[in-house]
């Protein structure tokens, strides 16, 4: 248990579906992140939120839409995805964006398959 | 561009020592992290280096040379449960984490 909870753990969706991934942390952290992890590739940072404000959008296609209603919750809304979007989506949180150490705590991820 | 290189896969024997290397070229440097990720699980933090030298934490140690853009993770007295992927990440001048693709470590009895 890392203190960061993601649901669902597994998701299969069609290309015309709309679904949402949920992330919750009760560590009192101020920064939250969405990452995409594909097999044998580096983690790709998608979005960063700090104090509920989006500070980073790494050229992510608009079919991925993040939402951060408060500092404990983060959503990733998905619509009209492509098969190449199939991957493990990881949520993470950290105390702040910078500073000493400030390691990130990860959720267990949502394994997404787009069919 | 920014780049983190680490071996794709390594194999070692239970009870032995293994060293996983990581080299990096990034825009600035604000620390290097090592994470462990078991299959199907969340990456978990192992170590952080910001100054040159060796950081020891039980069976695991991490070394950094900023002038060489190089780090290694040293695992001693290997146990079967150490079979996992080990991820190297560098925080650049914008405090963004740049990740390597990970090294899959296979431990054999």
Note whether B37 and A2 are within 8 A (CB).
no
pLDDT tier, A53 (very low <50, low <70, confident <90, very high otherwise) = confident
Instruction: Flag residues of chain B having pLDDT under 70.
Output: none
pLDDT of residue B95: 81
- 3-class DSSP state of A94: strand
Surface of A (34-93) touching B: CB under 8 A: 40-43, 45, 56, 90
Q: Mutate which of B26, B43, B55 to test chain A, going by most A C-beta atoms within 10 A? A: B43
**Residue A9: Cβ within 10 Å count:** 11
- Numbers of helices and strands, H then E, in chain B: 0, 11
Residue A109 pLDDT greater than 70, yes or no: yes
Average pLDDT over chain A, rounded to an integer? 90
pLDDT of residue A101: 58
pLDDT of residue A62: 93
- Sequence-distant (6+) residues with CB within 8 A of A87 are A36, A37, A38, A112
According to DSSP, residue B59 is labeled T
Residue A58 pLDDT greater than 80, yes or no: no
pLDDT of residue A44: 92
Residue A99 pLDDT greater than 70, yes or no: no
pLDDT of residue B45: 93
Cβ-based contacts of A96 with chain B (< 8 Å): none
Instruction: Give CA–CA dist B66/B3, Å, rounded.
Output: 15
pLDDT of residue A2: 59
Comparing alpha-carbon positions, the chain A residue that sits nearest to B3 is A42
pLDDT of residue A59: 85
């Amino acid at each position: 248990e890392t203190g960061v909870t993601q649901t669902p753990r597994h998701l299969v969706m069609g290309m015309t579906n709309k679904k949402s991934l949920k992330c919750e942390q009760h560590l009192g952290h101020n920064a939250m992140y969405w990452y995409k992890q594909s097999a044998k590739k580096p983690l790709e940072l998608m979005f960063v939120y700090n104090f509920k404000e989006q500070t980073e959008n790494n050229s992510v296609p608009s079919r991925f839409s993040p939402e951060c209603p408060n500092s404990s919750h983060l959503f990733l809304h998905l619509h009209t995805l492509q098969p190449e979007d199939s991957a493990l989506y990881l949520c993470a949180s950290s105390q702040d964006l910078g500073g000493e150490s400030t390691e990130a705590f990860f959720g267990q991820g949502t394994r997404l398959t787009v069919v | 561009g920014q780049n983190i290189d680490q071996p794709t896969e390594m194999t070692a024997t239970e009870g032995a020592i293994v060293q996983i290397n990581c080299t990096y070229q990034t825009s600035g440097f604000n620390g290097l992290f090592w994470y462990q990720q078991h299959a199907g699980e969340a990456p978990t933090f192992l170590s952080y280096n910001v100054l040159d030298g060796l950081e020891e934490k039980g069976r695991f140690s991490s070394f950094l040379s900023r002038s060489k853009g190089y780090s290694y993770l040293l695992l001693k007295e290997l146990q079967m449960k150490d079979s996992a992927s080990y991820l190297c990440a560098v925080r650049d001048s914008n405090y963004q984490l740049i990740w390597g693709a990970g090294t899959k470590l296979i431990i054999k009895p």
